[in-house]
Amino acid sequence: MIEVKNLTKKFNSVKALDGISFSIGSGSLFGLVGSNGAGKSTFLRTLAGIYAPDGGEILIDGKSPFENSQVKSRLYFISDYPYFLPQSTLNDMADFYKRIYPNWSRKRYEELCGLFPINAKDKIGNMSKGMQRQAALICALAARPDYLLLDEIFDGLDPVMRQLLKRIVFDEVAQRDMTVIVASHNLRELEDFCDHIGLFHKGGVVFERDLDEMKLGINKVQAVLKPTPDIRDFAPLDIVKMEKHGSLVSLVVRGSKEEILEKINSFNPIFVEILPLTLEEVFISEMEVAGYDIDNILS
């Protein structure tokens, strides 16, 4: 379990993390989202024990990661610019990491080399950005960490590799309760990957939620209604968003499916259906409740 208590990290006058507090349960797939400069990478680097907090604390299973090799040997951090030894091949990196990570598995390493289409004997420095990310992932997963920290990992990976990464990570989380924390400024990328999301903004955490809980109590409805009602006609429904295209009305509404359908049916719809919400639509609703404008935060 990761506990973040009033954590502050400053760079001169810039407060990259401004007294944030939240926790991340074991086995969670936790997404950090937020605009450029929100503090996501600083948070991951502090969690990885690279930076010491300037205030508050960050604890991994009750212990601070900073200057603690025992804690660090249980976590693997892939930064937005993955590090490799100069002139090294993937096999060289495997030799390096097997001395650092007590759970390192040669068998797993060989399995992963068979899954990702890169040559373990090639110099990593000559590989493309996406191939270097794959090399970093092979090292990370062969190290069998309890905590996997990923900064903008999807950047540079093609769609097939993204799906492969997601599938492998889901398996590891299910099989051995690995905790994954992944930073991205793209909500859509995290939509089918994470079970929790923390939204960072200007060094603070605007909110942190379980995705399934967020989706409870908010629904999206499409209906063909003639005549087309005005937004006020839907009272007392709590309408988050309404769009009209001719007689087709799309609504994002807070409330149960039953109460929403009861109201829509009172207009004798020609057609009505409840649709799944995107993560972005759920966020718009949550942000409004919290008093923020999502366009200013995730643009």
Ligand X SMILES: Nc1ncnc2c1ncn2[C@@H]1O[C@H](COP(=O)(O)OP(=O)(O)OP(=O)(O)O)[C@@H](O)[C@H]1O
- Closest of 50, 2, 49 to residue 29, by C-alpha: 2
Q: Residue 269, interface with ligand X (CB under 6 A)?
A: no
Residue span binding ligand X (CB under 6 A) among the ranges 31-39, 220-228, 250-258, 267-275: 31-39
Interaction residues for ligand X, span 134-193 (CB under 6 A) = 185
List the one residue from 28, 42, 79, 89 that touches ligand X (CB under 6 A): 42
Taking the least distance from each CB to ligand X, the nearer of 40 and 196 is: 40
Binding residue count for ligand X, defined by CB under 6 A: 12
The span from the CA of 97 to the CA of 204, in Å, is: 34
Residue span binding ligand X (CB under 6 A) among the ranges 38-46, 57-65, 130-138, 270-278: 38-46
C-alpha to C-alpha distances, 153 to 101, 105, 176, 184, 255, nearest whole angstrom: 21, 22, 21, 8, 36
CB 33 within 8 A of CB 193: no
Q: Give the position of tokens 């992932």.
A: 137
Q: β-strands 179-184, 14-24: how paired?
A: unpaired
Q: Residue 34, interface with ligand X (CB under 6 A)?
A: yes
Q: What is the contact mask toward ligand X in residues 75 to 104, using x (rule: CB under 6 A)? A: ------------------------------
Interaction residues for ligand X, span 199-228 (CB under 6 A) = none
Q: Residue 14, interface with ligand X (CB under 6 A)?
A: yes
Residue span binding ligand X (CB under 6 A) among the ranges 40-48, 104-112, 218-226, 244-252: 40-48
What is the residue type of 181? I
List the one residue from 2, 4, 7, 16 that touches ligand X (CB under 6 A): 16
List the one residue from 2, 24, 33, 39 that touches ligand X (CB under 6 A): 39
Q: Residue 37, interface with ligand X (CB under 6 A)?
A: yes
Both tokens assigned to 127: 């590989």
Give me the least distance between CB of 32 and ligand X, in Å please: 8
Q: How many alpha carbons lie under 13 Å from residue 39 in its C-beta half-sphere?
A: 25
Interaction residues for ligand X, span 106-125 (CB under 6 A) = none
Q: Residue 40, interface with ligand X (CB under 6 A)?
A: yes
Give me the least distance between CB of 220 and ligand X, in Å please: 29
Q: Which residues of this protein are in contact with ligand X, per CB under 6 A?
A: 11, 14, 16, 34, 36-42, 185
